[in-house]
Amino acid sequence: MLINLHSHLEGRVRPETATELARQLGIPDPDDGWARAIRVERPGTLTEYLAKVAATYPFFRSPDAVRRIACEAVEDAAAGGLDYLELRFGPATHATDRYGIDDIVSAVAEGMREGSRSTGVLVGAVVAALRHHDPEVNAAVALSAARHAGDGVVGFDLAGDELLYPQLEPHREAFAIARAAGLGVTCHAAEAAEGSAARRAVELLGATRIGHGAHIADDKDVLTWAADHGVMIEVCPTSNWFTGAIASLEEHPAPIFRDAGIRLVLGDDNPRQTGTELAHEREVLRSPLGWTEADDAALDRASIDAAFLESWQRADLQERLEGPLPPSAV
């Protein structure tokens, strides 16, 4: 089963779509083409990595373009064999004087629904506040997410450059709004900052899942605390290598988390930047990280439990995983 719980819409723009939209918008094509322009070529810092993601931002200037990008992202997920996709995005980054935050959120939700109808893939949108935005902006983002709860939006996140903007306290109001609306809560944390950042994200913001969380493994106290409190970590191994969170794929802390009793889920983060998709990330877990069939099964179960799903959707995925109940059990 392939359940993707950490993937960014801005990291799923098709290069051919970028080329077409660039011509419509009057944006010059890069000398080496858009595929190369948005691709991360080598490991570096989180700041450098995010600059490549930001290269796609000009293509989110209108609801029509956003709907198309979201629909194509779901189509690509289906082509990659996904059973469920949570797609996160930062609407305030794409809002303009003409199109507001609500317009962008609605466009993403509509595009994802269109892609889901045509492919059968279950989807949910996770609206992301950004660390470098003012608290008032992020509160507005949370209010928009709350208005769309049950209409395509399933969760709320805090993303952005943790190196430059490590503070969490300014965003407490936004997360309170999201929780009050019944949205699932995740947070990028301990990706570039120390492991204790993940604990603060849980305690201050109410996160039940931590995005990346690589440096939790560096702090034994936080590692134990996370296991004891049922915190789930969204691991994205290839992305963590490109951002410098780990020195090599062989050193990814997923086995440390597993052995500590922390339940893991999987994501591909920004596949157009890293050149990898979820199926490959599962292969990375197997080799070089030594994942077993039992580990795969535990990952599938944790993913179904952690996903921000309606009860009927969770039951559907559970049935796909385990097969239908025999007649005698119905």
250 is a catalytic site residue: no
Domain edges within the chain: 3-318
Taking alpha carbons only, the member of 82, 127, 122, 121 closest to residue 107 is 127
Do the Cβ atoms of 47 and 243 come closer than 8 Å? Answer: no
Do the Cβ atoms of 132 and 160 come closer than 8 Å? Answer: yes
Taking alpha carbons only, the member of 83, 97, 71 closest to residue 13 is 71
- pLDDT tens digits along 101-112: 999 999 999 999
Range 80-96 average pLDDT: 97
Range 261-273 average pLDDT: 98
Range 272-298 average pLDDT: 96
Q: How far is CA 27 from CA 57, 60, 94, 102, in A?
A: 12, 13, 16, 25
Helix (H) or strand (E) holding 299: helix 293-306
Range 258-275 average pLDDT: 97
Give the per-residue pLDDT at 327: 56
- pLDDT tens digits along 119-133: 999 999 999 999 999
Measured distance CA(304)–CA(309) in Å, rounded: 8
Q: Which fold has domain 3-318?
A: TIM Barrel (3.20.20)
Identify the DSSP state of 246: S
Give the per-residue pLDDT at 324: 62
Give the per-residue pLDDT at 217: 97
Q: How far is CA 292 from CA 230, 283, 288, in A?
A: 22, 11, 11
Task: Quote the tokens at residue 81.
Answer: 């064999």
Give the per-residue pLDDT at 329: 44
For 30-64, what is the HEC assignment? CCCCHHHHHCCCCCCCHHHHHHHHHCCHHHHCCHH
Task: Quote the tokens at residue 138.
Answer: 């992020």
Give the per-residue pLDDT at 326: 54
Where b means 16+ CB within 10 Å and e means fewer, 112-147 reads: bbbbbeebebbbbbbbbbbbebeeebbbbbbbbbbe
Range 5-30 average pLDDT: 95
Q: Name the percent of the chain in helix, strand, coil, to the closest 5.
A: 55, 15, 30
User: Mean pLDDT for the chain?
Assistant: 95
Q: Terminus-to-terminus CA distance in the chain, angstroms?
A: 24
List 191, 234, 277, 281, catalytic entry: 191
- pLDDT tens digits along 139-166: 999 999 999 999 999 999 999 999 999 9
Give the per-residue pLDDT at 330: 44
